[in-house]
Amino acid sequence: MPKAKQPKKSNVSLPQLRSMIEEISRDRNLPTSAVQTALREALLKGYERYRRSQHLDQMQFEEDHFDNFDVFLNLDEEAFQVVATKTIVIEVTDEDKEISIDDVKNSLQQESLEEVSEEKLQELIGDSVVLDVTPEREDFGRMAAIQAKQVLAQKLRDQQRRIIQEEFEQFEGTALIGKVLRFERQSVILSVNSSLGQPDVEAELPQKEQLPNDNYRIGRTFKVFLKKVREGSQRGPQLLVSRGAAGLVVELFANEVPEIEEELVRIVAVAREASPPSRHVGPRTKIAVDTLEGDVDPVGACIGARGSRIQVVVGELQGEKIDVIRWSPDPSTYISNALSPARIDEVRLVNPDGRQAHVLVPEDQLSLAIGKEGQNVRLAARLTGWKIDIKDVNKYDPVAAMAEVESQRQYDSEYQSRYQPDYQDAGYADENY
């Protein structure tokens, strides 16, 4: 069966096309293929503008009206060509999407110089043919060219964002090194590198993710936690990073403690108060660790000889206080450990279903167990997932205490949401033990 052939190719000249693509590629740190894709999309938008200008008296085009059009770049001839995939029909109702069988017949006869049978022509109806619809350069128009230029700038930005997203999505939840570039409102803008050879990209460190003890001066480097790679085409940095996330503590310990890398020691949970509610209280973190190896001390491994390992982490976090405690599947033991450095006499699980515990301590340990402005017990509660009430062992009345528990049972659901670790290894959740 004879096939409809497209007319002789016509191109719109684009002087120095190849060198322009290479220059944009260098300036924007984009692959040449990404630049060519952006340029093709921009020229297609320019062509749409040209076509719309030819039909100002017609109804509005649908959004997908030009989906059957495409642009090809000819780097050797430094030009571009517009083509359209059209359906062969008996009578044309939309010249952008259809071509008549008579026009196909004329085209075939011009190419083969012989008559085409009506039977074979009928077989072509419903098939598609790719046709050259490239306008003359003067017809393309100044406004269409401006439109193409504007769209190109946007498409190049979109390509950059797409590459950043693909590059950094795999690094979400890990630590990166950021260098302070500038300040925008209350955010710090840093440059970060993926360590895969790609150029540095900008990341935003919002005020709420900053540490109060950090000195963010231009040129200084910090380790930051990549919280999210933003999608879409919104302006500003695509990467959202944090200095206050619990995940940063996890990453810092994983880098400093070989036993964690070798999976001999496991970080079970982290509760962090990087920006305390009061300026009189410093940042503090509690981290629970465990091991399945009987001859390994998980707490000692994280602290290191004479505190060498934990001091590296503390130094990176500008002196933040860090308590490393041993995790336990027994809630009483776990709660007692979490209240370190206070000395605990007894832990009573007064409402296991509501995860409420009364912790009995000597009078001289009350302030230490509670902590400055309640920080120690607050972090212990979040680390363990239990509501912890500190009680003086000498003044504890079991009957009155249980009456108090009964009156608070209605708030059990609130406890579940308020007392949750900032980081929790699902493999070590209490319900698994």
**Domain-by-domain residue ranges, the chain?**
12-159, 172-242, 246-432
What value does the mean pLDDT take over residues 70-93? 87
| 240 φ/ψ angles, rounded to the nearest 5 degrees | -110, 115
Write down the pLDDT at residue 1. Answer: 36
Instruction: State residue 2's pLDDT score.
Output: 40
Give me the mean pLDDT over the 116-129 stretch: 77
% pLDDT > 70, the chain: 86
pLDDT of residue 115: 65
Q: Which CATH number describes the domain made up of 12-159?
A: 3.30.1480.10
Which is more confident, 403 or 140? 403
Rounded to an integer, the average pLDDT of 18-31 is: 83
Q: Compute how many other C-beta atoms are within 10 angstroms of the C-beta atom of residue 159.
A: 19
Question: What are 147-202's pLDDT values in tens digits?
Answer: 677 788 878 877 777 877 777 888 899 999 999 999 998 999 999 986 545 567 88
pLDDT score at 272 = 96
Check if the beta carbon of residue 319 is closer than 8 Å to that of residue 212: no
> What pLDDT sits at residue 167?
79
Residue 348 or 417, more confident: 348
The answer to whether the beta carbons of residues 374 and 281 sit under 8 Å apart is no
CATH of 172-242 given 1.20.120.640, 2.40.50.140, 3.30.70.420, 3.40.50.360: 2.40.50.140
Q: Among candidates 281, 270, 244, 247, which has minimal Cα distance to 382?
A: 270
Rounded to an integer, what distance in angstroms lies between the CA atom of residue 70 and that of residue 134? 10
The yes-or-no verdict on residue 368 having pLDDT over 70 is yes
Predicted pLDDT at 209: 95
DSSP H/E element including 40? helix 32-54
* 89 membership: H or E segment, kind and range: strand 79-89
pLDDT bin (cut points 50, 70, 90) of residue 339 is very high
Spatial CB neighbours of 47, under 8 Å, sequence gap ≥ 6: 66, 69, 71, 82, 135, 140, 144
| CATH code of domain 246-432 | 3.30.300.20
- pLDDT, tens digit, for every residue of 109-118? 666 655 666 7
- Is residue 127 a contact partner of residue 88, using CB atoms and an 8 Å limit? yes
State the pLDDT confidence band at 306, using cuts at 50, 70 and 90: very high
Residues above pLDDT 90, as percent of the chain: 42
Task: Provide DSSP, 105-169.
Answer: HHHHHHHH-SPPPHHHHHHHTT-EEEEE-PPPHHHH-HHHHHHHHHHHHHHHHHHHHHHHHHHHG
Higher pLDDT, 2 or 51: 51
In terms of pLDDT, which residue wins out, 77 or 428? Answer: 77
Q: Cα–Cα distance between 353 and 262 in angstroms, integer? A: 36
Mean pLDDT value across residues 231-245: 81
**In the block, residue with structure tokens 């009430």:** 389
> Model confidence over 198-222: pLDDT tens digits?
567 889 999 999 999 899 999 999 9
pLDDT averaged over every residue in the chain: 84
The answer, yes or no, to whether residue 240 has pLDDT greater than 90, is yes
Q: Say whether pLDDT at 142 is over 80.
A: no
Which residue type does 88 have?
I
Q: Quick one: pLDDT at residue 134?
A: 83
Amino acid 6: pLDDT: 42
- Using the predicted structure, report yes or no on whether residue 107 has a pLDDT greater than 70: yes
Average pLDDT over residues 312-330: 96
Binning pLDDT at 50, 70 and 90, where does residue 284 land?
very high
More confident residue, 323 or 113: 323
Residue 234 has pLDDT above 90, yes or no: no
**pLDDT computed for residue 21 by the predictor:** 87
Residue 146 CA, distance from chain mean position: 34
Pick from 11-15, 79-83, 274-278, 383-387: least confident:
11-15
Distance separating alpha carbons of residues 402 and 400, to the nearest angstrom: 6
Q: Which pLDDT score is estimated for 145?
A: 65
Residue 152 to residues 40, 44, 45, 156, 157, Cα–Cα distance (Å)? 9, 10, 9, 6, 9
More confident residue, 44 or 251: 251
Q: Which residue did the predictor score with more confidence, 433 or 65?
A: 65
User: Could you read off the pLDDT of 409-429 as tens digits, one per residue?
Assistant: 665 555 566 788 988 887 776
pLDDT over threshold 50, residue 281 = yes
